[in-house]
Structure 1
Amino acid sequence: MANKLDQLKTMTTVVADTGDIDAIAHWRPQDATTNPSLLLKAAASDAYRPMLGKAVAMARKQGGSDADQITVATDMLAVLAGQEILGLIPGVVSTEVDARLSFDTEATLKRARRLVELYDQQGVDNRRVLIKIAATWEGIRAAEILEQEGIRCNLTLLFSFAQAAACAQAGAFLISPFVGRILDWHLASTGREHFPAAEDPGVQSVARIYNYYKANSFNTVVMGASFRNSGEIEMLAGCDRLTISPALLQELKDDNGSLERRLSPAGATSQDGFGTLDEKRFRWESNEDAMATEKLADGIRRFTADQIELENRVRTLVSNVA
């Protein structure tokens, strides 16, 4: 019998949850996704040093204040990393907008368009790029506009059903609900040490979203993310896409047991009669979901901290490049 990773690939598109070039080259996933945390780790590796130098040199050449150059350099590093990754995979790569812009629609639009422009300058077709944006109300509105412009989006830091419904209604190409971080919150809030995979709150959240989308013919792709264990992945077998860390990919590859399909469009049913969400209702529904409110804020803070650390890492290089 094929191992569980190979079985999973017959029912779900597997995405690599890493910015490590060597890991992506080894696992050869269909797609790849990055974020500031992953880029920060990757930037310390030998594989990224030439990209980092090139990004800083290009930013220096563009001119402007040191702050402007640092911002351009980090965006350029993300684009160069994305370009390198696209040379290893057949699908798409997600590149993230600065999390500090999560509550500013216009600033998000400006940064997203610049990322696409930078990819274009490197000869990368924008159909192979997803712009990754936090699923705040402002981020969802930006994604709605970008999708109309032909720029496909990945709405990330998604923890609630209200976020998922709003993303689908906005025509977002893809969402990334965070399974493991939902589990983390419930473990902390209940004092429990474990949830069986079938009762995992993160798994249940993604399954609910998937069934709602399929039962109501929404085209938005569901990509489960942020897994804590392989059991969560197995319970979501059949989901459109799953982005998985190298460690869990290896665990699935080493397991030759049978993998059951859990989700399918044909079997999707939903009792959720969620109507159109305006801003007031979105904010109310979000306010009523303590887990989602807390984890969204925490996620934005974490991505921001890593973005700032990455910028600090290139600050000296920007000032030294002639």
Structure 2
Amino acid sequence: MNFASDNVTPFCPEILAALTQEGKDNAPAYGGDDISQQLDTAFSQLFDTDVKVIPVATGTAANCISLSALVSPYGGVICHHEAHINEDESTGVAFFTGGAKLLPMDGPTAKIEADALDRFIAGQANRGVHSVAPECVAITQASELGTVYSVEEAHAIGDVCKKHGLRLFMDGARFANAVAHLGCHPADITWKAGVDAISFGATKNGAMAVDAIVLFDNNLKTRVEQARKRSGHLHSKHRYLATQLLAYVKNDVWLKNAGHANDAATVLADILCQHGATLAHPSDGNELFVHLDTDLAEKLRAAGVQFHPWPSLGSTVYRFVAAWSTDIAQVHELNARIS
């Protein structure tokens, strides 16, 4: 049972079937194919507004290319200090933006709070060319610690951005898990809250290798497409990225997969807590952060369970990540294996 990451999973049957079907014939390259031409319509229907979609193969590319269109080379991007763009993407943001600086701030369970954001922006020293002026706020949905911004919280962040004239970006690597948890319409926590662009994650949730840059400000399309090409992320066989995304959103496969992952995490949390573990904080999606004593941790490893320590939350905290393919029946069996 591998709970080390949701990146370890295979791709789901719906995407495999779509790729197999699309792999039979030739098609125009670089997005000129019929499949790629369907993306904007499919995602516009999904978000209930006119959007532009630019597929890339990695989440890092989706995040950093998006930000390169939202902030100048001398601007600042406010994010939580636990954010993926701050902790796990090297100097990617600075590289893709040509020098923009991350301005990390605190907040409980890896979420930025609107009031604190307002104070943080107001407190940024403005010394003209000697300081970095914030131009964008980046939030992660679901957060790096498995928590989810509510509809109200997302709108409150958007209101602060509007007040200060800042762009709003959403890292949605686990966006599906957030929507499945909230049971809301995708629009409610994106463009209706003032989000300008989102990296719409698929790789962690059943795709082979694709995330989508979804632009709610259509004026950004040309700039994002140019940045994608310049950075080497325009695929010649673009149709295979598009094929994955269309299969992913068709018949709500993305929500079905995410809902299963969230449910698997809930079952696992219940079992771990029955054996003396405690949650470091409530889990909203498919990630668990759990206090384990040494004995229970060793029992889990002996039972073949893979998971990671998470020292930033304490020496006894470990992360478990359930996925679309997690066998919930096998998770139930774990109860007897560690008793």
Same fold (TM over 0.5): no
Which of the pair is proportionally richer in strand?
2
TM-score normalized with structure 1 length: 0.36
TM-score normalized with structure 2 length: 0.34
Which of the pair is proportionally richer in helix?
1
